[in-house]
Amino acid sequence: MSDHRTPLLKVRDLTVTFGKGTRSVSAVAGVSFDVYEGETLGLVGESGCGKSTTGKALMKIVAPTSGSIELNGVDITHQRGRALRHARTHMQMIFQDPISSLNPRRRVRSIVAEPLDAWKTASGAERDRIVNDLLNKVGIDPEVYGNRYARQFSGGQCQRISIARSLAMRPQMLICDEVVSALDVSVQAQILNLLEDLKAEYGLTLLFIAHDLAVVKNISDRVAVMYLGKICEIGPSDTLYETPGHPYTQFLLGAALEADPDSVDAGTVLEGEPPSPHDPPSGCRFRTRCPFATERCAAEEPQLREVAVGHQVACHYPFAAA
């Protein structure tokens, strides 16, 4: 289905290793995926699985150790300086903590205008018009709030301002790293709907990183599940949630708490905790917690294989699609 479209972002064998020698940690251990134009790819996993590091490596906030990142067919993996800064105008990132993302002593208008000022894309009346337009789009009245300081806003409003700032250069792609996890449910719904609206209006492509499975399903066209630095399953969101192929995905979905008193506890609680990425298990990284693991899982690392159209699973014994 998605194969006919052009990938806007192409990631191949991306690794990020922190530290050297025996003390090194592979936070991202060989991740490949495409993000197609106009789609939302969700990236889920538990803390420490490398999902945020992946997002940061794409923005080159942390340096990728190996692998390649192609944006719009241009390899940005080794770009530096002005070329890199230019690439970043096409790809922007929004972070988890909206309040610390904004300078508390600056006025909203100047925060949102900063990218325009930095690139000298607009000035004077044109600059004001763009800023007003962006603030209106995210639901912040520029007449009332434009001259207030960032510290005067709540978390939800700060996240709206962050989104307005990220859109100033009209990027093609937004990387959203846990953008709603610090917000209350009612505000979370507002921001999720806002992202959907802006995506449609600006024709944006999103990489949506989060740990909340319900949130990720709500916003994503496709979802990738990460475990200990690797993608263990990737596929269209509805298919992946209905017929997960990887045991880890199934446990993760089983652990998600439904707001329904009649929902039966699947009784499949995943025991233990993820092993340390210092010393990942041989073969399949999930085998130490997997009830179905065999000798083969320890000996041979499973690669992502297609189980249905666009649905790939990295498991020697994937669940058959129902």
- What is the residue-wise DSSP string for 223-256? EEEEETTEEEEEEEHHHHHHS--SHHHHHHHHHS
Q: What are the Cα distances from residue 298, in Å, to 284, 290, 315?
A: 6, 11, 12
Q: How many residues bind other proteins (CB under 8 A)?
A: 44
Q: Of 7 and 48, which CB lies nearer to other proteins in the complex structure? A: 48
Residue 99 binds other proteins, judged by CB under 8 A:
no
Of 64-72, 82-90, 160-168, 248-256, the window that binds other proteins (rule: CB under 8 A) is 248-256
**Closest by alpha carbon to 302, among 283, 287, 274?**
283
Q: How many residues does the chain have?
A: 322
Of 3-11, 59-67, 125-133, 249-257, the window that binds other proteins (rule: CB under 8 A) is 249-257
Beta carbon of residue 207, minimum distance to other proteins (angstroms, whole number): 15
In whole angstroms, what is the distance from residue 234 CA to residue 216 CA? 13
State the binding string over 283-322 for other proteins (x if CB under 8 A, else -): ----------------------------------------
Beta carbon of residue 304, minimum distance to other proteins (angstroms, whole number): 21
Q: Spell 16-52 as b/e; 16+ CB within 10 A means b.
A: bbeeeeeeebbbbbebebbbbbebbbbbbbbebbbbb
Q: Report whether 173 contacts 71 (CB < 8 A).
A: yes
Q: Report whether 152 contacts 144 (CB < 8 A).
A: no
Applying CB under 8 A, among 59, 62, 99, 192 the residue interacting with other proteins is 192
First to last CA, the chain: 20
Site for other proteins in 251-290 (CB under 8 A): 251-253, 255-263, 265, 269-271, 273
Q: Residue 134: how many CB atoms within 10 A of its CB?
A: 23
State the binding string over 202-241 for other proteins (x if CB under 8 A, else -): ---------xxxxx-xxxxx---------------xx--x
Q: Of 143 and 262, which CB lies nearer to other proteins in the complex structure? A: 262
Outline where the chain has alpha helix (H). 51-58, 81-90, 108-119, 124-137, 142-145, 155-167, 185-202, 213-219, 237-242, 247-255, 295-299
Q: Of 122 and 255, which CB lies nearer to other proteins in the complex structure? A: 255
Beta carbon of residue 184, minimum distance to other proteins (angstroms, whole number): 4
Applying CB under 8 A, among 66, 123, 147, 193 the residue interacting with other proteins is 193
Q: Of 65 and 250, which CB lies nearer to other proteins in the complex structure? A: 250
Residues 6+ away with beta carbon under 8 Å from 135: 108, 109, 112, 141, 142, 145, 146, 161, 164
Beta carbon of residue 149, minimum distance to other proteins (angstroms, whole number): 17
Interface with other proteins (CB under 8 A): 46-47, 154, 156, 184-190, 192-193, 196, 211-215, 217-221, 237-238, 241, 251-253, 255-263, 265, 269-271, 273
